[in-house]
Every structure is written in structure tokens, then in C-alpha cells.
Amino acid sequence: MARHLITSALPYINGIKHLGNLVGSQLPADLYARYQRGRGNEVLFLCATDEHGTPAELAAAKTGEAVADYCARMHGVQAELAEGFRLSFDHYGRSSSARNHQLTQHFAGKLAEAGLIEEVSERQVYSNADGRFLPDRYIEGTCPNCGYDRARGDQCENCTKQLDPTDLIDPRSAISGSTDLEVRETKHLFLKQSAMRGQLNDWIDAQTDWPILTTSIAKKWLNDGDGLQDRGITRDLDWGVPVKRGDADWPGMEGKVFYVWFDAPIEYIAAAGEWADAKGLGEADWQRWWRTDEGADDVRYTQFMGKDNVPFHTLGFPTTIMGSGEPWKLVDYIKSFNYLNYDGGQFSTSQGRGVFMDQALEVLPADYWRWWLLSHAPESGDSEFTWENFQQSVNKDLADVLGNFASRVTKFCRSKFGETLPEGGAYGPREEALVADLTARLARYEQLMDAIEVRKAAAELRGIWAAGNEYLQSAAPWSTFKEDPETAAMQVRLGLNLVRLYAVLSQPFIPDAAAKMADAMGGAGAWPEDVAAALSALAPGAPFTVPENLFRKITDEERADWQSRFAGRRG
């Protein structure tokens, strides 16, 4: 049994995420976790809400809540939506947890001992109108590199160049819009990433199986311009992890907190501790996933994220892990995704353009969205959600191919043979050809799922469904029954075993429909080791039921209504 540690990028706490956020990390991570569990492997699948930083403070101020209360409420909202989309986290934690506070301070202490943290007096932007130092991302201006006029003080979203606030042309407060800014002296801690450049470069070079997208972004940040830069890891904020060296105070850092991008990845580790706490387990139970001196050397660790998060997971977080000098588990594989655009433009949280997770579940059940998003995952490049494509995919793939097959074979069997699998008949050339075809297809499906080639795996799964439909259409048991009831019985029995097989293979993509198919066939089976054996697993006399309609078609009127409803400003 292999052991798989799986994490997806932490969704930020300020609001409900849109479908582009979902397909960029959490949903493909869930697909992989479900697949590995289905193969009989041991899985720990972790995620959490990312709760620190200025955006949380500002969002709480808008609602009139204390920031801690706001984060607690929104964690509940996001956890409920994750459950609605059937995201099978073993634990869904919080970066504001006591575990993460302790671990963040622990790592800071170890990095300081290793000489990788430096106290720097720097000049930082202060907004007189807002009465506060402005975090980098809350300063906007024109990018000196590409001229984009809404670049943030930490990075230009247009050209992705890493920036400092003082680099911006015509800077302004993103909070109030005020240009009444001044630069004041303040002291902060900097993580000396540059000292780790050689070690990081060697580590990244050794990851020969990483996606090109992941490696290219990591290399660009590692070598761009002056190379890897030291980065500030503290901020002048109230909400966050207080700056300490382990358990000890850090003189000169009173009233400061760690930067959200320093503490958030550490929550991956803290979430394992939270999971163990919730289960009543001990320290060794979670450390066996994260510490190589406690057994984590045989763990395969896979991270899922959008491409904008890659630099922090290939450089920043590894610097923390490696620099600590402790035997923590490093990631083995980073699956990164491009962006999902929306119907001719971009998803926009601020404008409410596009479909958000809560709205999606109000419109249709989770499986409809899971199938489209995964089968159109933005792997090799950006992809686009259109309502026409969504309607076509649901109607053809889910309703016509899979749903129609399950409905036809179960209803026909019930009408001619009753609600148990019929006896009689033996395989002929058509059945042998089907077994051979499905054996080859299953091998390809497993290879693609192991490689986390999400779109190709979805296409192969659809091909497995289509093979059953083509067999049923060719065999035509409704015609065979008139002349040869025994052969028709064999054909129907094979078809019912196909429904059971589809339940097992489809579960990572469409878990609710898979559960309905499995229930109709008397329960889910194990992952098939042999297709021929799987297609005779249900013996004559085994009971079955007709599953309720697995998928309904989307009408043209519904499509037009939804396209109009989600084009404008939300709320």
C-alpha cells in the first residue's frame, strides 16, 4: 500500500470562491485523492482556509464583525461549500489555528538559528488617510516594467514581475484611493532566500517529472533579473501570527505579525496536527506524514495549485523547510494549473462576473460541475467556460452516454427478467472484443490518473462509458430476446456488471452518480484488477434496482437564463 499526502492551495477567507478558483486546486486534488483511495492506497488529503493579512481585516470591517469572528464564520461557509462539491478532505483546517501559530513561530526560530533571517530597517509606505502602513498588495500604481496601471506593490498581475511598493509609478492606497502617501522607517524580518539559491536550484533541477508549467515558473523566479530575492516575512498588522522565535519574544518585533505568505504554507503541516487532534491521535500519527525521521520518507507528497501560487511553493516554502535544518518532508510533485476564463472574459470576484460555488450548487448538483470542470481543466493553457459548451458536455457525456446506458440496461432487464441478474448464455466474439477493448482502456485510464493528466483521463473515462453504449447498441438484447432469450440474458448480465464497473471507475469524477450506480447494483466493488473478472462479479440471481435518472439534460431556455444571470455584477 502506497502512502499519499495531498494538499491543495489554501483558499483565502474573504468571500466565496468562483469556479476558476475551484478547478485550479481543490477539485483536481480531490480527484487524485479519491482515485488513490480507490486503488487501496493510504491517503491524507489536507486543506484549510488562509485567514491572515489585510484582506481579512478589511472584509471583517465591511461586515462590522471582529476579524476573528468573521474568519470563523467564513470558514464554516467555505467548509460547507466544499462538502457540497464533495471535496473529500481528511481535514479542512484554519491557518489561524493554535497549531499553525506554534509551528510558524517554531520555523522562524529555526531559520534564525540557521542565520537565514535578517532584521532590516526599511522604508515602507504609510498612508496618512488610512492611518496605517500599507501592506504591499494594498498599494497600487503603474508597473515600471509593462506599464499596467493597476499593478500591486508585491507583484504585477499583468506581467507577473515581482515588485516592491517603491517601484510603482504614481502609487495610491488600494484601500482609500488616497495618494497622500509617505515613506517611513520601520524594522522587519527578511528571509534570506538568496542564501538558499544553489540548494533550491539543485532541488528543482532534480524534479525531472514536474509539469513544464511548474518548472518554468520556478526557474523564472529563481533566475529572473537579479535572481532570487530576500523577502520580508513580517508586517505591521494586528491580525496574524505574532512574531516570536519559538516560544521566546523577538525584541524589536513587538506588535508585528508574520506575513501571510510565510505562515500560510506552514498550515499544510499544522493541518495534519489538527487532523490528529480531531481524531484523538498522537503526535507520531501526524508526524509520520511530515517528518522523514518519523516514517515520512516513504510518503508521496503532491501539491495542487494555480500557476500564480507556484513561486511561493517552489521557492518560499521550500526555503522554510530546507532552511530549518529539520527532517521535514519536501513536496515530490507540484501539479499547477493555468487560468479558467469565463464566457469571453475573466471571472471577477469584485464584479461578480461568472459562477461562484454557492450559485453553482443552487443551479445544478455538484457532479454536473465536477465533470465539466475536470474534463476541461486548464492544464496545457488557459481554458474558457461557456454555457454552450457546458450544456453540450452535460447533455452528451453525462445524460446521453452514461445516464442513458445505466437507464436502458436496468429498465430492460427489469421488464424481461425481473430485478435479479438473469442466468444463461455465454460470451461470443463481441463480448471478448469488448473485454479486450476495456482492458486496454482501463490501463490507459490508470496511467493518466497516476500521471495526473486530468483532461486526458476524463476523455478516457468517457471512452469507457461509450464502449458500453456501443456494445449495448450492437448487441441489441431487446432484439436478441425475441429469438434467443439466453443470449439476451448474458448480454444484459454483462451490461449490469458494466454499470457496477462504471460506478467504481467514475467515482473520482462524479461521486454522487457513482454512489447511485453502486447502490443500484448492491454496493460498490473494489478497483478492478482484471476487467473480465469485474464483468462477472455480479452473478446470476444477484439483485439490482433501477437507479433514478442519473443526469437530466439542460434546456436551451435554462442555458440562456443562466448566461444572462451570471454575466453581471453580483449582489
- Please check whether residue 566 lies inside any domain of the structure: no
Residue 280 has pLDDT above 50, yes or no: yes
Binding site members: 143, 146, 156, 159, 349
What are the pLDDT digits (tens) for 175-211? 889 999 998 888 999 999 999 999 999 999 999 999 9
Average pLDDT, the chain: 94
Say if residues 22 and 373 touch (Cβ distance below 8 Å): yes
Region 501-512: what's the mean pLDDT? 98
Residue 137 has pLDDT above 90, yes or no: no
3-state secondary structure of 486: helix
- Please check whether residue 431 lies inside any domain of the structure: yes
What is the per-residue pLDDT for 206? 95
Binding site members for Zn(2+): 143, 146, 156, 159
Q: Are residues 476 and 492 in the same domain?
A: yes
What is the per-residue pLDDT for 225? 59
Residue 460 pLDDT level (bands cut at 50, 70, 90):
very high
Say if residues 80 and 19 touch (Cβ distance below 8 Å): no
Q: Are residues 242 and 362 in the same domain?
A: no
Residue 78 has pLDDT above 90, yes or no: yes
Say if residues 239 and 53 touch (Cβ distance below 8 Å): yes
Binding site members for ATP: 349
Q: Are residues 228 and 288 in the same domain?
A: no
What are the pLDDT digits (tens) for 301-353? 999 999 999 999 999 999 999 999 999 999 999 999 999 999 888 888 767 78
Q: Which region among 161-165, 297-301, 437-441, 545-549 has the lowest average model confidence (pLDDT)? A: 161-165
Better-predicted residue by pLDDT, 229 or 84: 84
Q: Are residues 303 and 168 in the same domain?
A: no
Of all residues in the chain, what percent are helix, strand and coil, respectively (each to 5)? 50, 15, 30
Domains contained in the chain, number? 3
What are the pLDDT digits (tens) for 17-69? 999 999 999 999 999 999 999 999 999 999 999 999 988 988 998 899 999 99
Residues spanned by the domain of 121: 114-195+205-249
Q: Are residues 88 and 215 in the same domain?
A: no
Q: Are residues 10 and 120 in the same domain?
A: no
Q: Can you give the CATH number for the domain in which 508 is found?
A: 1.10.730.10
What is the per-residue pLDDT for 223? 85
What is the per-residue pLDDT for 61? 87
Residue 314: which residues within 8 A CB-CB, separation 6 or more? 200, 204, 214, 217, 218, 221, 334
- Please check whether residue 43 lies inside any domain of the structure: yes
Region 394-410: what's the mean pLDDT? 97
Residue 569 has pLDDT above 70, yes or no: no
What is the per-residue pLDDT for 570? 43
What is the per-residue pLDDT for 227? 66
Q: Are residues 284 and 210 in the same domain?
A: no
Q: Are residues 227 and 362 in the same domain?
A: no
